[in-house]
Structure 1
Amino acid sequence: MCVAIAIVCLIATFFMAAPAPESWGYALLSALLHVGYNLFLVRSYRVGDLGQIYPISRGSSPALITLGAALFAGETITPAELLGIGLVSGGIISLAFRGRSLSVPSLPYALGTGCFIAAYSVVDGIGARLSGAPLAYTVWMSALWGVLMPLVYIGLRDARSLFSVRPGMLTAAVGGLVSLLAYAIVIYAMNEAPLGAVSALRETSVLFAALLGYLFLGEKLTVRRMLACVVIASGAIIIG
């Protein structure tokens, strides 16, 4: 995914002006935070279930981003927006419960992943606003991230396995490009709106994932999952 992102972004840099110099440090910091996010996410999935890791890491980030935006970006948030963010985060995290317990072997790594999401989101929100060109900022930051992550992979493993042809490579490359487009939209939105609200609306992807899993993967929509989806949707409506 990162190799595909790096190739596309490095090519794109030749066709657009560089972002304002004030944002370069933020782009580099964000790229480093994205690497940390990748490492924590992979570690979480090694010892935990996707159905628990994903809701915890994604559900915890909107509240953390709201706090970070208040501390570092000088943002204020209305009570209604705060309520909406709380409903979205709470609804998403509730999907990780098994009965009444939240027993997750890799809980520290899942929460750490959420902290990395919050950190790079706040950094990118500030960087995009300073850049004067959110799209150019996204391209330069993603190019740095796309180069750094494969280098870390090579350092931890080797170059041969990274570039060896195997099943799923094309799917992963396409996934990387889709994620690049999705995050470019997020950064553009953060340039125009409060970071916490954008993050909460972004994480409603969990709602769509549950519906797609039901429609195309034969997954069950339990009463708990449907109630969580209603809570998430209600929070999104309040924010809107």
Structure 2
Amino acid sequence: MSLLVVVAVLVAAFTHAAWNAMAHAIKDQLVAFTLIGGGASVIGAALAAFSPVPSGGAWPYLIASALLHIGYQVLLMRSFSLGDFGQMYPIARGTAPLVVTVLAVAFVGESLNAWQAAGVAVASAGLVGVALWGIRGSGARPHWPALLAALATGLSIASYTVVDGVGVRAAHTPIGYIAWLMILEGLLIPAYAWYSRRGALWAQLRPYAVRGLLGAALSMTAYGLVLWAQTRAPLAPVAALRESSIIVGAAIGAVFFKERFGAPRIAAAGLMVVGIGLMLRAG
């Protein structure tokens, strides 16, 4: 992994945690994801008008990814509605890197050298530590529906990460791929909201319009950077590095949602830094 790829993925991690925090702050999750999904579709349509159309071989992956992303959004809405941001976000993101590693080796034919494998393992240990401290620090018994929703979200993240890693390479245009992905995935939830809320939807969207559209721009930027990185580095290290957003998310939870960020989370963050260093050493 080159330094440029590392910087791009770290910027993506920060912007991803930011838009998730914006979505969580909107109590009506259907409103939040309607704004973010609809806004991303509009931005995607604008980008598609000025970028190459993805190659034919990328379209099966685009369609599969759009379906996986819709499932991910539904699961994320569910987990955010059931649990705290500082707990749900780390669990959802922390399950993905090791699953991506297994899928990339099993289905994409990638292999990891010793430094990359060690980096992914250490970084994942740090991410799991943050997630487990979220459960321990809550002071309450685990809320299993919330935890299961967050774990299922993580599995969906791993699935679309691998699908998109193959698809964006086949597309020969990362910008065109992300543009059409946003168009395809971003319409279903707004359509459902329009159907279920009828005439009340506009009034419900209006107070959060600016925040939601900013979240859409951050969401598209974050994933666009990840897709570009996946064309220049193996999937597993990119996935592990991307999930450093958990540390950002934990900090956001502490500062803005008044959630705890104690010594165990600092230690887990240290493991994440060591893992990143090992992945850099692999490059």
TM-score for both structures, normalised by structure 1: 0.91
The reply on whether 1:144 has 2:181 as its aligned counterpart is no
The reply on whether 1:163 has 2:202 as its aligned counterpart is yes
> In structure 2, how many angstroms separate the alpha carbons of the residues matched to 1:111 and 1:124?
20
Q: How many equivalent pairs are there?
A: 239
**Secondary structure at 2:206's aligned position in 1?**
coil
Determine the structure 2 residue equivalent to 1:72: 107
Gaps of 5+ in 2: 1-35
**Secondary structure at 1:192's aligned position in 2?**
coil
Determine the structure 1 residue equivalent to 2:74: 39
Determine the structure 2 residue equivalent to 1:115: 155
The reply on whether 1:222 has 2:257 as its aligned counterpart is no
1:53-92 alignment runs, 5 A limit: 53-92=88-127
Determine the structure 1 residue equivalent to 2:245: 205
Q: Given residue 31 of structure 1, which amino acid in structure 2 is its aligned partner?
A: A
Determine the structure 1 residue equivalent to 2:48: 13
Q: Given residue 44 of structure 2, which amino acid in structure 1 is its aligned partner?
A: C
> In structure 2, how many angstroms separate the alpha carbons of the residues matched to 1:141 and 1:46?
26
What is the CA deviation profile of residues 102-124 of structure 1, one whole-angstrom value per residue up to 9, with x for unaligned ones?
A: 83422221111001101111111
Distance change (3 Å), C-alpha of 1:159 and 1:90: farther
**Secondary structure at 1:56's aligned position in 2?**
helix
> In structure 2, how many angstroms separate the alpha carbons of the residues matched to 1:46 and 1:207?
21
Distance change (3 Å), C-alpha of 1:209 and 1:108: closer
CA contact (8 A) 1:51 1:95 kept: no
> In structure 2, how many angstroms separate the alpha carbons of the residues matched to 1:79 and 1:163?
54
Determine the structure 2 residue equivalent to 1:25: 60
**Secondary structure at 2:54's aligned position in 1?**
coil
Q: Given residue 121 of structure 2, which amino acid in structure 1 is its aligned partner?
A: G
What is the CA deviation profile of residues 180-213 of structure 1, one whole-angstrom value per residue up to 9, with x for unaligned ones?
A: 0110000000111111110111111122334455
Cα distance, 1:219 vs. partner? Answer: 5.6
CA contact (8 A) 2:94 2:131 kept: no
Distance change (3 Å), C-alpha of 1:102 and 1:133: farther
What is the CA deviation profile of residues 73-101 of structure 1, one whole-angstrom value per residue up to 9, with x for unaligned ones?
A: 11111222122112222212222334499
Cα distance, 1:58 vs. partner? Answer: 0.3
Which deviates more from structure 2 when the two are superposed, residues 187-196 or residues 9-18? 9-18
Distance change (3 Å), C-alpha of 1:56 and 1:210: closer
Cα distance, 1:138 vs. partner? Answer: 0.9
Q: Which has the higher contact order (CA 8 A, sep 6+)?
A: 2
RMSD of equivalent CA atoms: 2.1
> In structure 1, how many angstroms separate the alpha carbons of the residues matched to 2:127 and 2:250?
11
Cα distance, 1:168 vs. partner? Answer: 1.9
Name the % identity.
33
The reply on whether 1:103 has 2:142 as its aligned counterpart is yes
Q: Given residue 220 of structure 2, which amino acid in structure 1 is its aligned partner?
A: L
Determine the structure 2 residue equivalent to 1:194: 234
> In structure 2, how many angstroms separate the alpha carbons of the residues matched to 1:200 and 1:102?
29
Gaps of 5+ in 1: none
Which deviates more from structure 2 when the two are superposed, residues 102-111 or residues 84-93? 102-111
Which deviates more from structure 2 when the two are superposed, residues 99-108 or residues 188-197? 99-108
Distance change (3 Å), C-alpha of 1:147 and 1:218: closer
> In structure 1, how many angstroms separate the alpha carbons of the residues matched to 2:152 and 2:265?
24
> In structure 1, how many angstroms separate the alpha carbons of the residues matched to 2:74 and 2:261?
31
> In structure 2, how many angstroms separate the alpha carbons of the residues matched to 1:99 and 1:17?
48
Task: Give the alignment partner of residue 129 of structure 2, picking from 94, 103, 116.
Answer: 94
